[in-house]
Structure 1
């Protein structure tokens, strides 16, 4: 691997990731870039484990969904175990899936039928919060050498920074949208029932607490219904 060229590609990728306008767009760009930049990589995906279930957050290549589905059904596998932080591992590499495997034997046998020859993955996280696993696939056995672990770490590190920024932007946009919705609902209540600003907010909060509904959802109901909810 030409590390100078790879470093230059990483610099370009960093700019491209920061230019994305949502978390999903960032995830999609990460996996597409992995296929484009990593030698021998024919598919890539990001897997998370939510309440014991395998969830494909992004995929580039059909075998990603099939691999994630298989690991979810088996409740084991390299991507699945890495994403849920089993044994504290941060990286894995299966150089040749056509050879007998001491671990993940059930997965390895069925993965071969999917046309997977080799795999590697890196835990993808921001700060101290694990987010999932970035997984790289190759149809050819032995496609990933030891160097792939370093390359994967570099890619995952750039991705984590961009992902943190994308999450922050999404959170800010969500907060602004929520604030706008609540403000508009308060204005409707103030005009409709001649309430003060404090009283209008108290009405929204009381409905939220009484019905166990998020304040933003209550505001949306006020904006969309001809009369305020009870």
Structure 2
């Protein structure tokens, strides 16, 4: 038994702290192993419900917010989160919006008695079962990365301990989203470079084969793409790999001469 200065037993509290540390250490490893954006966001909202806990959770990885859920986002109830996004977007303010814009923590303890955020509280009460909202703006190097929002179905859903756990989760979310964003951008760049190389190689093949200019070769690919309803990059890749595109996708000699 470890007494505090006022005689209280702290052994239980110490054990709880150790357990929390172990849980979040395991979470950090799990998020690092996921890497990709979508599973990272899904893991974060699942952990929010289980660890904080809360009734619903949503997270967005974005550099701006709009009336629709961000492209990279996840929620534990998609229909409910769609409604929440519509409410916040139409009004232009909410705990999540303000937390995102300011990089702060916003806690609306009781939406039925909330005086901030315009008509957001009354709309939320009228259209959703949510009664309390806790939002964290996610920033790193003073750059907005997204927002993590937890929801409760009763007022004052988040006591001091829950807020502390939520803040820890937000820190992990910031690091995980930054890593996933970097991985996403690297993959996007890799795909773009590979696509450009394939298109360039395909143009070279057509220039040599049909004795046309590079511009005419590109237009030839574009015509085939439009007629076949296939992506130009896919056609270029097929041409580079096989030396031809499907017979049905060839254009006539007159098209080749007229391309460009």
TM range (shorter): 0.7 to 0.9
* Equivalent-residue separation in structure 2 for 1:89 and 1:175 (angstroms): 29
**Whole-angstrom CA distance in 1 between matches of 2:203 and 2:118:** 62
CA contact (8 A) 1:91 1:149 kept: no
Distance 1:185 1:52, change over 3 A: closer
Per-residue deviation at 1:182? 2.1
Residue 59 of structure 1 is matched in structure 2 by: 75
1:53-72 Cα deviation digits (max 9, x unpaired): 35342111243322222111
RMSD of the alignment, in Å?
Answer: 3.1
In the alignment, does 2:86 pair up with 1:69? yes
Q: Could you tell me whether the CA contact under 8 Å between 1:23 and 1:170 is conserved in 2?
A: yes
How far apart are the structure 1 equivalents of 2:83 and 2:167? Answer: 24
Does residue 96 of structure 1 match 2:110? yes
Query: Of the two, which has the highest radius of gyration?
Result: 2
Q: Partners in 1 of 2:176 and 2:202 — Cα distance?
A: 39
C-alpha separation in 2, matches of 1:103 and 1:16: 37
Gaps of 5+ in 1: 205-216
Query: Which residue is equivalent to 1:130?
Result: 144
Q: What number of residue pairs does the alignment pair up?
A: 210
| C-alpha distance in 1 between matches for 2:41 and 2:47 | 10
Structure 1 residues 78, 27: closer, same or farther in 2, change over 3 A? same
1:43 aligns with 2:56: yes
Superposition map of 1:1-230 within 5 A: 2-39=16-53, 41-47=54-60, 50=64, 52-56=66-70, 57-61=73-77, 62-83=79-100, 85=101, 88-98=102-112, 100-113=113-126, 114-194=128-208, 222-223=236-237, 226=250, 230=260
In structure 2, runs of 5+ residues without a counterpart are: 1-12, 219-230, 239-248
Q: Is the 8 A contact 1:92 1:122 kept in 2?
A: yes
Length-normalised TM-score, structure 1 = 0.76
In the TM superposition, residue 81 of structure 1 has moved relative to its aligned partner by: 2.2
Three-state SS of the structure 2 residue aligned to 1:19 is: helix
Shift of the alpha carbon at 1:178?
2.0
How far is the alpha carbon of 1:124 from its aligned partner?
1.5
Inter-CA distance 122–26: structure 2 relative to 1 (3 Å threshold): same
2:222 maps to none
| 1:49, distance to aligned residue in structure 2 (A) | 7.3
Q: Which has the higher contact order (CA 8 A, sep 6+)?
A: 1
Query: Per-residue CA shift, 1:118-147, capped at 9, x if unaligned?
Result: 111111234332122100001122220133
